[in-house]
Amino acid sequence: MKPGLIMRLSPPQILVYGFTLIIMIGAVLLSLPIATVSGESMPFLDALFTATSATCVTGLVLVDTGTYFSAFGQLVLILLIQIGGLGFMTMAALIALVFKRKISLKERLVLQTAMNQGSMEGIVRLIRKVLLYSLTIEFAAAVIFSVRWSFEMEPGQAIYYGIFHAISFFNNAGFDLFGAIHKPFGSMSHLAYDWIVNLVAIILIVLGGIGFIVIADLLEYHKTRKLSLHSKVVLSTTGALTVIGFVILLIFEFTNHKTFGALNGSGKLLASLLHSVTPRSAGVTTVDVSQMRQASQFFLIILMFIGASPGSAGGGIKTTTFAILVGALVAMVRGKEDIVMFRYRLGKDRILKAITLTMFAIFMVVFITMLLSTTEDHAFLVILFEVTSAFGTVGLSMGLTPQLTEFGKVVIALTMFTGRLGPMTLAYALGKKTDKELYRYPEGKITIG
């Protein structure tokens, strides 16, 4: 792409084209014979689907990662996950900082869009923090995982597994290699009682899901002694959803002998906590979600639709959007005109954006579910679950993904792509730029309710 053409592109367009380029490069590499254990080339559509899933940090897979891909293929996947999780513009900024190249105004605008920031002020400083915090957290988790697994594996394999899963879990990707040592598509089912691995995985998922802005805010709290409104809303909403999810899943699945019912008391508590966190956008499981009761599966769909928080690697409508919708509901019920959170009044533009994003997401999930219901021979709830998982870049699956038709693979891949970039970013990138209206129509009234 010519530099002159790049300068004419808007930040959302650069993000869309950049992610597309990364995915295409990943697909080509994964389709090489060296990327598979068998030495046979992976069909390009399957490679494209897998590259999309890795770059969009989703975790939906057509084949078992640990048994199908060679070390080269797994390396490609983890690089795609790291680039997709941090964002390709963040990685580009890292290269620029390493070579001491000044970051241009255009690049700052793209970084602002990628990090979902309201202004460019301090954007380069934030990027430095993002890179530092991410690598530090991943390194610490990799060390813990490596030490834990060194009791069961050769030191080299333990370190390799530690690094791979630390990156995958922190970026909320959900890819794992456990199929090579346990069973294909088994995720962490053999680690249901392992408190160390589960708790570290939960911490990684939460840290990766709350967003880098909140992490930076928390680490500087000892200096500032205050948190931003954004951080307060993200932390309170994430905490509330985790507690509610823990209680509901524990109640619904407590006596289900195909899931939590097969575990002892501590196992039930640990599984409930993990599965209340993993719909944030992670896709890590210790039980088969396809065997859960339908009430639990539908509740997971709701959690996946909400997703992670702004500025993170996760998808969904985001926790802040959900908080604004709940705030609007409470305000209307109480007869209040304003939505107030932590003694701050929210502007109407924030409320309209939250409603627009939610409606856009609902229409998208419903339309794709209806579309796949005509091409995929599976139950409606299974299809809805898979579509929501793709949109929320979660990676939880009820077993539909490996059985998708060619058309279904394309549709789910596009859904993952939209979920990672965000429906609004994609709409801005593909839509035409409109001039600001110079006049306003008179206000009208419509009866509601």
The pLDDT tens digits of the residues spanning 424-436 come to 666 655 555 555 5
Mean pLDDT of the chain: 86
Instruction: Look at residue 108 and tell me whether its pLDDT is greater than 80.
Output: no
Give the pLDDT band of residue 76 (cuts 50, 70, 90). Answer: very high
What percent of the chain shows pLDDT beyond 70? 84
Q: Which residue matches tokens 């690697």?
A: 313
Instruction: Look at residue 264 and tell me whether its pLDDT is greater than 70.
Output: yes
CA torsion angle for 28, 33, 35, 36 (degrees, to 10)?
Answer: 130
Q: What is the pLDDT of residue 298?
A: 96
Mean pLDDT of all residues in 114-124: 56
- Is the model more confident about 3 or about 287? 287
Mean pLDDT of all residues in 290-295: 94
Give the pLDDT band of residue 1 (cuts 50, 70, 90). Answer: very low
Instruction: Look at residue 372 and tell me whether its pLDDT is greater than 60.
Output: yes
Is 0.75 surpassed by the pTM of this model?
yes
Q: What is the pLDDT of residue 335?
A: 85
Helix axes 229-253, 195-210, angle to 10 degrees: 140
d(CA 87, CA 81): 9
- The pair of three-digit structure tokens given for residue 246, joined into one six-digit string: 């823990």
Give the pLDDT band of residue 373 (cuts 50, 70, 90). Answer: very high
